[in-house]
Amino acid sequence: MEKKTANVKALLPIFVFLALYIGAGVYFEYISPIDGKMGFYVVSTVVAFMAALAVALVQNRKLSFDDKIRVCAKGIGDENITIMLLIFLLAGAFGGIAKEAGGAASTANLMLSIIPDEFAVPGLFLVACIISMAMGTSVGTITVLVPIATGVSESGNYPLALCVATVVGGSMFGDNLSFVSDTTIAATKTQGIQMRDKFLANIKIALPAAVITLILLIIMSLGGKNASVGEYEYNILRAIPYFVVIVLALLGMNVLVVLGIGIGLFALSGAITGSLTIESMFSSMSTGTSGMFETMIVTILVSSIGALVRENGGFEAILNGIRRHLKGRRGGMAGIGLLTAFLDIATANNTVAIVMAAPIAKELSEEYEIEPRKTASLLDTCSCIMQGVIPYGAQLLIAASLGGLSSMQIIPLLFYPYILAVFVVLSIIFDKKDKTNDKRRNKS
């Protein structure tokens, strides 16, 4: 790839997006709130990115408008972007039919039914981890479990903020590791790797953090009284497809095939248990894919903007800044993590942050010889950490609304994201180059 001359002015489209999106978010969230709407979601990211793209298209007079469109088309036509868009569609259909078939509710109720009363709070964390990993959505998990968390708080005399924060933390664990999460899809496909490879790199960081969080919650639970999580009905046939999808993905099967099998299994289980009709099956898949449209459009817009910013020397300017302040392989890894975290703070959307950071992360990965699976892990993990703790993110806003709290009451008790951040730092400090990866490269 031809090396471009660094040009800070080429970053103007990114600053336009941040100014418009953050400015509108702050205004509608804190200055002039709108009833029933989250301030940072009044102005769509699609609209903000359209404005940024317009700015990118008027820059660089050395290129004609037609040439700029060709640059955008080349960015959108990247193999990994195309695959990612297809996976988004299938993931949407999978999520839609799984919800309609009762898979999410049955899986949650199955897990809740086996939790001992004396471990209700750590049990909530464990259930949130598993449910979000199966569903691939932290917001969906929070919506399902926070009402249950409020009941645990009341019956066990535990602080409500602790119970809600426990659910949020567990939901971010699963969202980070799930094979059907849009963050995982974005992180792996932009780096050109298999989901299984990213999972194996990710689990080394996320699992110890989750275990420590679970132990901490168990210790805290010892001082409270037994809290019943209630009686919940479930159907094992409706829960099985989730676990089959996880196993197949871990075995390394192509994610498009895995999602196709998952959709088929939910259609079958829904037909057997009577939770689905032909009409509801197709309408739920349609609803699920429609829910992915904004994410897909954002991916297309960001790919276009990214291609123009790279062409105009913007990426080289960012890379130069990272090179000046962060040296060596560990510095490159830190740069990827910090860039992703900053973009998540700015956009309040972990998928958007990954898609924006991914092209620069890929160049850093190649320059500093960082394994793509580690790069993908950093992208996904750092975005999920920030998304789980920013008070204006969808996760905390929805959790606070359902729990009758403010986001600021929940933040101090978000143990898992903070512990995960510590493990990310440790993984960078004690990083060792994968010699197996070098041997494979030399053989090829």
Q: What is the pLDDT of residues 272-294, one digit of tens each?
A: 999 999 999 999 999 989 988 88
Least confident of 250-254, 291-295, 407-411: 250-254
- pLDDT greater than 60 at residue 153: yes
Q: What percent of the chain has pLDDT over 90?
A: 38
> Per residue in 115-124, pLDDT tens?
777 788 898 8
**Residues 6+ positions from 90 with CB-CB distance below 8 Å:** 256, 259, 260, 263
Provide the pLDDT for residue 303.
Answer: 86
Type and span of the H or E element at 441:
helix 435-443
Res. 314 pLDDT band, cuts 50 70 90: confident
Give me the helices (H) in 178-254, please: 182-191, 195-221, 236-250
Provide the pLDDT for residue 16.
Answer: 92
Q: What is the DSSP letter of 11?
A: G
The tally of CA atoms less than 13 A away on the side-chain side of residue 406 is 2
- Distance, in Å, from the CA atom of 269 to the CA atom of 94, rounded to the nearest integer, reads 13
Q: Which two tokens stand for residue 313?
A: 């020397």
Q: Which two tokens stand for residue 427?
A: 């993984």
- pLDDT greater than 90 at residue 147: no
Work out the average pLDDT over 47-55. Answer: 93
- Distance, in Å, from the CA atom of 196 to the CA atom of 220, rounded to the nearest integer, reads 34
Smallest Cα–Cα separation from 48: which of 354, 345, 313, 305? Answer: 305
- Distance, in Å, from the CA atom of 389 to the CA atom of 392, rounded to the nearest integer, reads 9
Res. 72 pLDDT band, cuts 50 70 90: very high
Provide the pLDDT for residue 2.
Answer: 60
More confident residue, 325 or 140: 325
Provide the pLDDT for residue 435.
Answer: 57
- pLDDT greater than 80 at residue 154: no
Work out the average pLDDT over 312-332. Answer: 87
Res. 316 pLDDT band, cuts 50 70 90: confident
pTM of the model: 0.77
What torsion, rounded to 10 degrees, do the Cα atoms 98, 104, 105, 106 define? 90
Least confident of 15-24, 202-211, 345-354, 433-442: 433-442
**Residues 6+ positions from 6 with CB-CB distance below 8 Å:** 313, 316, 317, 319, 320
- pLDDT greater than 70 at residue 382: yes
- pLDDT greater than 70 at residue 325: yes
Q: Interior CA angle at 348 toward 345 and 351, to 5°?
A: 105
CB 13 within 8 A of CB 22: no
- Distance, in Å, from the CA atom of 393 to the CA atom of 391, rounded to the nearest integer, reads 6
Work out the average pLDDT over 65-75. Answer: 94
CB 100 within 8 A of CB 270: yes
CB 244 within 8 A of CB 261: yes
CB 364 within 8 A of CB 322: yes
Least confident of 47-61, 228-242, 273-287, 336-350: 228-242
Backbone angles phi, psi at 277, to 5 degrees: -115, 170
Q: Which two tokens stand for residue 133?
A: 């990993």
Q: Which two tokens stand for residue 8?
A: 């800070």
CB 334 within 8 A of CB 326: yes
Provide the pLDDT for residue 36.
Answer: 74
Provide the pLDDT for residue 132.
Answer: 86
- Distance, in Å, from the CA atom of 66 to the CA atom of 117, rounded to the nearest integer, reads 65
Work out the average pLDDT over 387-407. Answer: 83
Provide the pLDDT for residue 438.
Answer: 42
